[in-house]
Amino acid sequence: MIDNTPLIKAVNVRKIYRIGQQRIAALDNINLSVAHGEMVAIMGQSGSGKTTLLNCLSGLDTIDEGEIAIANQNLRDLGDNERTKFRARHMGFIFQDFNLLPVLSAVENVELPMLVSRVPARRARKRALEMLDLVGLSQRARHRPAELSGGQRQRVTIARALTNEPTIVWADEPTGNLDSETAQEIIQLLMTLNQTQHQTFVIVTHAQEVGKQADRLITMRDGRIVEQG
């Protein structure tokens, strides 16, 4: 269910990269609003600004002009440590390359962020197993990444992203390293989680299948939003 109250709001956002004397607008006057519970796909050619937009919206990167607010919290009002804590409380991240530690089992990879945040070990293990069960991977909890398929590794990544019950899940090319059948399984999993957990998903992707199945598709070109539909 989508609550039309804006959860993510970007107003007149610009991000400038300086290369010598040259100024390149990676983001140029971005205005965007995402509602609670919405699944949004951001598409565009390489270099269009998709990942830069995701990084700026999530506070992983700073902006040069404009305002970004998450749940009415202006990110510019937060220092580096405050932004890190804000992300840990409210956000989960899914990456194309999984970012799993090869020496740890699936359950250990999922529980690691909780242990870093000083969640008691027993509670972290219980939560990690619950999340692996949620993504259909409870039978592989003790397997290391090398013993898992690409789709299974991405499910571990998704489980890890959900451990803190985030309001927003950011996904950067979550199906980029997967074959078409496995990619569809991951898309379906994200859609199910969006509908059952009522979490907001913002997904950067090249995959038309993701864009078609999202609530809204945003198309970027040369650092600008050129279409929303």
Query: What is residue 73's predicted lDDT score, i.e. its pLDDT?
Result: 93
Query: What is residue 216's predicted lDDT score, i.e. its pLDDT?
Result: 93
Query: What is residue 155's predicted lDDT score, i.e. its pLDDT?
Result: 92
Rg of the chain's alpha carbons, rounded to an integer?
18
With beta carbons less than 8 A apart as the criterion, state whether 188 and 137 touch: no
Residue 179 sits at the vertex; the CA angle it makes with 98 and 139, to the nearest 5 degrees, is 60
Closest residue by Cα to residue 167 from 124, 200, 193, 211: 200
Query: What is residue 229's predicted lDDT score, i.e. its pLDDT?
Result: 77
Query: What is residue 19's predicted lDDT score, i.e. its pLDDT?
Result: 84
Query: What is residue 40's predicted lDDT score, i.e. its pLDDT?
Result: 95
Q: What is the pTM of this model?
A: 0.90
Query: What is residue 1's predicted lDDT score, i.e. its pLDDT?
Result: 58
Query: What is residue 18's predicted lDDT score, i.e. its pLDDT?
Result: 86
Sequence-distant contacts of 207-213: CB under 8 A, at least 24 apart:
207/175, 207/176, 207/183, 208/43, 209/175, 209/180, 209/183, 209/184, 210/41, 210/174, 210/175, 211/41, 211/43, 213/187
In the chain (229 residues long), the average pLDDT of successive 10-residue segments reads 79 91 90 94 91 94 94 91 89 88 95 88 94 92 94 92 91 87 88 89 89 91 90
Query: What is residue 2's predicted lDDT score, i.e. its pLDDT?
Result: 61
CA 220 from chain center: how many Å?
Answer: 18
Query: What is residue 91's predicted lDDT score, i.e. its pLDDT?
Result: 92
Query: Between 3.40.50.280, 3.40.50.300, 3.30.390.10, 3.40.640.10, what CATH number should domain 38-62+78-228 receive?
Result: 3.40.50.300
